Structure 1
Amino acid sequence: MRASFFCVGPLLTRLGEAKIPLPGGCNIGARPVDEHINGLKALGAEVEVINDVVKAKVSTKDKRLLGANITLKYPSVGATETILMASCLALGKTTISNPAREPEIQDLAKMLNSMGAKVFGAGTKRITILGVESLSGTSHCVIPDRIEAGTFLIAAAITRSPLIIGPVIPNHLSAVISKLKECGCSISQHGNHHLKIIPREILGVDITTSPFPGFPTDLQAPFMSLMATAKGSSKIKERVFENRMQHVLELNKMGACIYLENNTAYIKGVKELVGSNVEGGDLRSSAAIILACLSAKGNSIFTGLKHLDRGYEKLEEKLTNAGSIISRKFDQITSHSSFSNKIISEDNIDTQKNAA
């Protein structure tokens, strides 16, 4: 898994040495770790890649990295996290210019600070880290998964069904909420940590993915499923990854009218999609296809759960609680679905049942 590579920074700064295989993850285009490696080298580490294994070590007598001024060529979330964790115990001050500004970066900085780190500016165009001698244990509650919440907002829109979703931090989904409102959905705060969406006639709108606070690349595929059923035409441009359109072929199998040119999809909305045997090629394209199955006429059989399960916990259970007719058997999900006015809550599935 790609997340395994995030161990390299903490291991290096705590132990002075780390060996980590190059990461895998979804096949959505080039996802190099050059920025991770360049950042570690800037902090004084010796890094080499031998037989697809990254070997890093600190050669100073005290095994401490040294603070540095680092400018990222691209605001990579992973590279920002690697440098942030590695520099907390470095000697002196580190600055990261052009860092990722995603909410997850801000949450990581918050947790590190609760452990005794001195991190300033997370969520802005420059992060400053003052190295400390040691970190201590802490208790930390991670922020809600904005991509899962966004997926359920789109699920409600594609099935034209009202839904209450939570917990959600609306500011983390501003670009998505804006586009859903633009295409015909009413979205409002419901209590302290929930959103209520009421879809009306869905109209085609254009999106272009970009780093936070722009429209997230992780919701490009689900939004395309929605646009496939919208009235009118739309255009979706993917600017983060060069191979993140694997869902187009499967959606067209279901009756969608999508023309792909490089990393831009031109979509002409159809009245309805038709159930089919479909397969997911990566995590987010799998979510997109599942949403298409929810809205399609007739039964659908989806295969490729190994991708889906990496990013969504008990997805079919949550969808069932929201009114879908969906079941899992081995590596397949069968869907014949309709939504009603339900509550999706990531933190308490029993609440969903009681509130339905």
Structure 2
Amino acid sequence: MSGVWGKQLELSIFGESHGSGIGIVINGLPSGFAIDLEEINREMQRRVPGKNTYSTARNEADSPQILSGLFNGKTTGTPLCCVIANADNHSSDYSVLEQVMRPGHADYPGFVRYHGANDYRGGGHFSGRLTAPLVFCGAICKQILKEKGIFIGSHIQQIREIQDSSFQEKTITQEILFHLNSQTFPVLEEKKAECMQNEILSAKKDGDSVGGTIECAAIGVPAGIGDPFFDSVESTLAHLLFSVPAVKGVEFGIGFKMSEKKGSECNDAYYYDKEQVKAKTNHNGGILGGITNGMPIIFRTAIKPTPSISKEQETINIKTKENTTLSVAGRHDPCIVQRAVPIIEAVCAIGIYECIKRSDIDGSKK
């Protein structure tokens, strides 16, 4: 089923945007790991809606309730189940969407795929609301990875045409990543934040929306994690990243810019720093042949503009089979990018932990 992912770390998400709740079941966590619930709540609050003028006015506490798999503050090793209640539903805002399909949203393909039985309120199971359980799982994986010396952080690299600087231009440290994680609108160049925010507010005023790019980095990942071809680190992360609603592009290292360069310009030259192997550049984003090379994993994710906008658009009425127009009512993000930052970090943590678990098993067989 599409709601299940993973081999060594198996996830199953459930729920709809306007149902009674959403949640996740996690198989494959180690037993006896002490979970920091305060840190989980902090990560959840990074994604939570209704905190500023750049996001939807929907007000959800997103307080996870753990039903199983945790005893005396530690994981039991059995399936960990978490439920997050939906409280601030305005389902009447979506009544027209039973028949009128939103351009750019999953309404029409979902109607066809599920023969009209899908929950259309707020996007139902297609909604970005279902990313809250992913952040919960990612928060746990981040804590496990932290004990292994692996740290993950992101920044908003671009909103429309306004660009922040890149991780490729910096030596990435824990301090930089921790600082970004503490920011509501994380950027490397603080002066760019106001320009990006003004772009979002301008689109909101026009009843429109904007998209952008998130750049994510994972440092401390040792060399030798991953596998070639179908279980490569890139394919594992890309699978998860493209499972996040609104993601339309992923590139590792310098990505598509490699198509403009020669091999001598793309190759990352190795050198010894005492006994540690390092590379002078990181054009490949820390991954070669699907396996980590010890450099920071760096990738960028393109997030499309929120499709639910109040600006009038041309569309169809699926019941009357007529052409019509639609101005979407309800509460929607004029830009989803800033709330997507912790989601991208979460699926990065999930993917890296999955690759580490697979590699550990492969290593034990040799």
Q: Under TM normalisation by the shorter chain, which class is it? A: under 0.3
Q: TM-score, normalised by structure 1?
A: 0.25
Q: TM-score, normalised by structure 2?
A: 0.25
